[in-house]
Structure 1
């Protein structure tokens, strides 16, 4: 089965429908989802963990009673994927990273369901939090993740045509993370091959989202075909970046299958083979059986 390695299940866009969304993912062959715990800021970092505890049963395939309105579906027991969570302070919210927020992050990373720190990193595309603040909090979160031995999920978004964000991100990872041997994920990868190589040299997996299916994303597909199979992951970044043929709609974890299909075609594999490869990569990174 597939793993959606990055989905924002706590988005308000799923309000009242999350049980149905998760059931559709299970029906589409998604066995595991990593729910990203950044919320709208540090005050909401715990929401992904709450969702995990709400929906997880004793085993991934065990039916649960829906806890939210099911819309047109009959009110019956549902099967849903196994959920894990992350926790982190997003670059845009690093100005809120006071001692209490960082202590909360540390406490969340101690929870067994919270298997990753993120998404964290740098964002130079949007105006907002000073870059020096972003860097300082990025480093502090890497320190907390190191102490908790949690892989990190990296957000890196540069200004168009300017590689400064990539340069700064990779430099900080080289200085503060590579030697830990813990590894992580470059989430929603959008860089070039040299940047992917530098990240992989630091122990990172490269995760591709729905934009790899877009007609104008040939440069990204050219990178994806070069990434070794043992370094590949797939994600939705739901509710954002819906893949074709659903581009423009609210994304959901079931559609990670379209991204896996696109990667399978690039590598000359079947979809089930790509699902098996990316699932094993996820399990290896997070030491899951």
Structure 2
């Protein structure tokens, strides 16, 4: 059974399901997905995600603010607020947070400060932090090290081995999305081959980045087995072995204190 460790359940294209998220989740279960972590991008997402998680025992969620959100939203993400929102057992992680200089370099300091506050909150509640990085790999690693963050996921990994090793040395897990299945992603697969099997996670990042053979379409959790298939080829494992390994890794991450 597979775990989609990063899906934006509030953003999915539900037209094929007549607007019914429950049907989309059931399709994913039918494809072998046994657990879903819905990801927040702003402080209001938790309201919808909490309601979804209350209806589905196999759904948990994160609380946090994406680095591409406006500075006012980032400022609302105080350590105290994040800790308050993370108290329920259905909150499995903090984030997604991190740094994104690809979309904006206008609010770099605000991004850095918000990222650090997410780490502090995660350390208080002893839950992992979900980290996004784009065009900011060195600064992302610097903050992880400076804040002594040891419990987290570098999600949708697309960076080099130097970055992977740096966060692995801090204790992080590395999550691969559908990008690892793309025909032009051989460099990423070469990096993935060096990541220890006990630190690998899979995700869709749906509705973005649908894996092959669905690249270009709207992504959804039922496609996460295709990410596992791409990694099974990288590691020379069966699909069943890859499902077991990545599922166990996620359970280990959640149980880590």
Question: TM-score range, shorter-chain basis?
Answer: over 0.9
- Deviation string, structure 1 residues 103-135 (Cα, Å, up to 9, x no partner): 442222111100100110000000265101100
Partner of 2:59: 83
Equivalences for 1:118-157 in 2 at 5 Å? 118-127=95-104, 129-157=106-134
**C-alpha distance in 1, partners of 2:107/2:37?**
29
Q: Is 1:17 matched up with 2:20?
A: yes
SS in 1 for 2:222: helix
Q: Within 5 Å, give how 1:41-56 maps onto structure 2.
A: 41-56=42-57
Q: Distance in 1 between matches of 2:246 and 2:12?
A: 28
Alpha-carbon shift at residue 49 of structure 1 (Å): 2.1
Q: 1:97 to 1:270 in 2, by over 3 A?
A: same
- Equivalence for 1:174: 145
Please list the CA deviations of residues 43-98 of structure 1 after superposition, one character each: whole Å capped at 9, or x if unmatched: 33432222111333xxxxxxxxxxxxxxxxxxxxxxxxx11111111101251246
**Match runs of 1:1-289 below 5 Å:** 1-11=1-11, 13-14=13-14, 16-38=19-41, 41-56=42-57, 82-93=58-69, 95-97=71-73, 100-102=76-78, 103-127=80-104, 129-158=106-135, 165-178=136-149, 181=150, 183-287=151-255
Contact 2:66-2:97 within 8 A present in 1 as well: yes
Gaps spanning 5+ residues in structure 1: where?
Answer: 57-81, 159-164
Residue range with higher mean Cα deviation, 195-204 or 89-98:
89-98
Match of residue 70 from structure 1: none
CA contact (8 A) 2:77 2:117 kept: no
Structure 2 Cα separation of the partners of residues 83 and 187 of structure 1? 18
Compare CA radii of gyration and give the structure with the larger one. Answer: 1
- Call closer, same or farther: CA 1:98–1:214 in 2, change over 3 Å: closer
Alpha-carbon shift at residue 253 of structure 1 (Å): 0.6
Q: What secondary structure does 1:13 align onto?
A: coil
Secondary structure of the 2:9 match is coil
C-alpha contact (below 8 Å) 2:3/2:33 kept by paired residues:
yes
SS state at 2:218 partner: coil
| Equivalent pair of 1:42/1:93 in contact (CA under 8 Å) | no
1:19 is displaced (CA, Å) by: 1.2
Shift of 1:14: 3.0
Alpha-carbon distance between aligned partners in 2 of 1:212 and 1:265, rounded to the nearest angstrom = 11
Q: TM-score, normalised by structure 2?
A: 0.93
| Residue aligned with 1:237, SS | coil
3-state SS of 2:133 partner: strand
CA distance in 1, matches of 2:252, 2:231: 20
If the length of structure 1 is used for normalisation, what is the TM-score? 0.83
CA distance in 1, matches of 2:235, 2:43: 39
Cα gap change, 1:197/1:12 in structure 2, threshold over 3 Å: closer, same or farther?
closer
RMSD: 1.7
